[in-house]
Amino acid sequence: MARHYFGTDGIRGEVGSTPITAEFMLRLGHAVGQVLRRDNSRPAVLIGKDTRISGYMIESALEAGLASAGVDTVLTGPLPTPGVAYLTRALRLDLGLVISASHNAYQDNGVKFFSAKGEKLPDGWEIEVEAALSAPARWANSAELGKARRLDDARGRYIEFCKSTVSKDLSLRGLKIVVDAAHGAAYQVAPAVFHELGAEVVSIGCEPDGININHGVGATAPQALVAAVAKHGANYGIALDGDADRLLLVDHNGRVFNGDELLYAMVTDRQAQHLPMPGAVGTLMTNMAVELALRNRGVELVRAKVGDRYVLEELSARGWLLGGEGSGHLLALDKHTTGDGIVSALQVLQATQRACAPLAELLQGVTLFPQTLLNVRLGSQDDLLHWKSNAGLAKVTREVETELAGQGRVLIRASGTEPVLRVMVETRDAAWGQRLARRLADAAVC
């Protein structure tokens, strides 16, 4: 059965359009409740959210839908996505729901789901929910209706969890850190974590008003953080996205470190602690410079499809611990079950403290290859489905790969939402990469 509503990470869309309406969210809550009650006569679900104004509407609708199916709910209010994953597991609940559209603007919203173990749920579970959406409702009678309660200390519990993921000896005393929470879910949590570990904290992007989430701040707009680090003479800046599962770091020189570089720093820190590190997982977009640098350290890099759920699947299959994406979704499975921007930042800061060296020094020898990315619009969705049969493009791809001779790479992939082919060339020489990418793009439309 094909999925109609679920994407790569839950359900997401523009508020006011299906499926992000109060009516659909009521139905979704009821359908999720019906699936949960197949295995448990009285399940309980945690519901957290970011700071979008539409979160109030969606929270109420989901709560009503779950209650109508006989499911209890625990409400946290604004809390990072990884905080919901943690508390779902810690409180021994059956499911965790996060109302968020992550790094999108406030006009969008959505719902993410976590299992009782705090992990992303498999495709099979999503298909079950979609089937339940199509089935007739089974309304609970008054005696069976679910109840709701608010978890007043959710924020404090999660703060303590974040602090527990680093050594008890770690102190950030003497560091000035700018924390940018993107006016999102971590606006109260993130500054508190770094302050309680001893840092002098300057907060930006911590004044949500319901519509300013991710607007000009956060991991998708690091220029604000670069400016704040310079203004305040800070040692580091930490940028999260709207639901705080994504991270970028800035140093005192204004250098922005992306997820690929931060993954490398985390791997080398584990090696310095003499921990086994046979491999790490990136994605099809992970920079080749990081792959080569890891290989020089005896660490294999395996590439998964783009999306943190695919990185997690690959890590789980191989029994490895570290993985991530250039966008800043980083996984440290010995610390948490899902990507966590705050926990990842702590891992990187701990690495600099252990090495007694700034982050830039830990990354000496890792100079990211420029990536040229071109979007090639094809005539129709049907053309996109058959792009691999384009003989001219295949011929030019072989020529380009021969010319690169291992000093770069080509990635061509289809968009999942529009008739667009994404052509990427990565090599040490940016101008050369641009010329090669243009040759490929021209061949794609012939």
Active site residues: 102
* CA 108-109-111 angle, 5° bins: 155
How many Å apart are CA 418 and CA 403, to the nearest integer? 31
| Number of residues assigned to the chain | 446
Concatenated DSSP letters for 235-278? SEEEEE-TTS--EEEEETT--EE-HHHHHHHHHHHHHHTT----
Contact 420, 381 (CB under 8 A): no
Gap between the Cα atoms of 308 and 374, Å rounded: 23
Residue with tokens 């491999």: 279
Burial of 388 per CB tally in 10 Å (0-12, 13-18, 19+): exposed
Strand order in the sheet with 300-304: 300-304, 279-283, 322-324, 330-332
Nearest to 268 by CA among 289, 296, 239: 296
Token pair of 388, please? 């691999």
Q: Which two three-digit tokens encode residue 35?
A: 């699936």
* DSSP codes, 336-401: -SS--HHHHHHHHHHHHHHHTS-HHHHTTT--PPPEEEEEEE-S-HHHHHTGGG-HHHHHHHHHHH
- Which conformational region is residue 430 in: left (phi greater than 0), alpha (psi within -120 to 50 degrees), or beta? alpha
For residue 413, the 8-state DSSP code is: E
142 contacts: CB under 8 Å, gap ≥ 6: none
Separation between Cα atoms, residue 309 and residue 407, nearest integer Å: 29
Residue type, 440: L
d(CA 112, CA 219): 20
Answer for the pair 180, 237: CB distance below 8 angstroms, yes or no. yes
DSSP assignments along 75-138, one per residue: EEEE--HHHHHHHHHHTT-SEEEEE--TTS-TTEEEEEEE-TTS-BPPHHHHHHHHHHHHSPP-
